[in-house]
A and B are shown apart, each in its own frame.
Chain A
Amino acid sequence: MWAWIHRFASPPYFFAVSAKLVPWFAMSALIVGVYGIYLGLFVAPTDYQQGESYRIIFIHVPAAWMSLFVYMVMAVSAGIGMIWRIRLADMVAAASAPIGASFTFVALVTGSLWGKPMWGAYWVWDARLTSELILLFLYFGYMALQSAIEDQSTADKASGLLAIVGVVNIPIIHYSVEWWNTLHQGATVAKFDKPSIDIDMLIPLLLMAVAFKLFYAAVVLVRARNELLYRDRNRRWVREIISSL
């Protein structure tokens, strides 16, 4: 197991294997995503309370899930990078930040576009919305620290620390709809009893969640490869690969 991890985390090996994985993740993301959109926009029934506006759910909810998921990947990778000094983990963390930020942005904007017709306002300072906005700023903070600090290992430590401290925000986002009286509706899927959502709505929702995860897998690998090329730009193996391109 450890040997495997160290082998996979060896830069040239990761660089070669990830190149083979990216097209598979990308293709399956496209297929699952197109099917999910089709089911969500054409097949899923109209919501009896929210009419057709609810169809925003098929991107809003998966994007919001991704904003949390990517954050956890980023924080855990940063932690692994700090504790076990696996450079690749730091690179995955750095590669995740902009993707996570963009999913958070999508969750906020699509939520706002759903909130306007349903609540009458694009934005309210509700606990769920505010904590999600803080998540966006945590991503921005991580990216700012990464780019502001010249020395790479100091940058990884400082931004990683921010990412780890910021994890406290994750349960706050998740439970905000229960802990506070929010305008944002409660959970309909992640509940212990049966999800209170029609199966024809649930399936496209879950498909979109899978598609976003596959999309993230493809893009985070591309970005981690970029990080690797850049950070090892003065090393022999990168020179050799680039000369042979």
Chain B
Amino acid sequence: MSGEQFSWSVFFNMGGYAFYVWTAYGLTFVVLVLNIVLPLMQRRQTINRVRRAIRREAMKSSSTQEPIES
């Protein structure tokens, strides 16, 4: 896009290929964002799962430590 003065409307028009170019870029952007968000959510889930397991086991072990027979 050299030569004449820069214009945003010319830029967004992409020589008539706006739909193809911007859909391609937009979709790629969405896929990249998902690639960041999904693993971070997965990390949260795994951590919560392990936390629950730790709590469960702590409860179990504390209950078994109590005298069963009186």
Q: Which A residues lie at the B interface, using CB under 8 A?
A: 41-43, 45-46, 51-53, 55-56, 59-60, 63, 98-99, 102, 105-106, 109-110, 113-114, 116-117, 215, 219, 222-223, 225-226, 229-230, 233-234, 238-239, 242-243, 245
Contact = CB atoms under 8 A, between A and B. Distances in A.
Please classify the interface of chain B as helix (H, G, I), strand (E, B), loop, or mixed, using the class held by over half of its residues.
helix
B46 A117 contact: no
B68 interface: no
A213 to B, nearest CB: 13
A226 B43 CA distance: 6
Interface of B: 1-2, 11, 14-17, 20-21, 23-25, 27-28, 31-32, 34-36, 38-40, 42-43, 46-47, 49-51, 53-54
B20 A114 contact: yes
A220 B24 CA distance: 24
Nearest to B32: A215
A52 B38 CA distance: 33
A117 B2 contact: no
A57 B23 CA distance: 13
A182 to B, nearest CB: 20
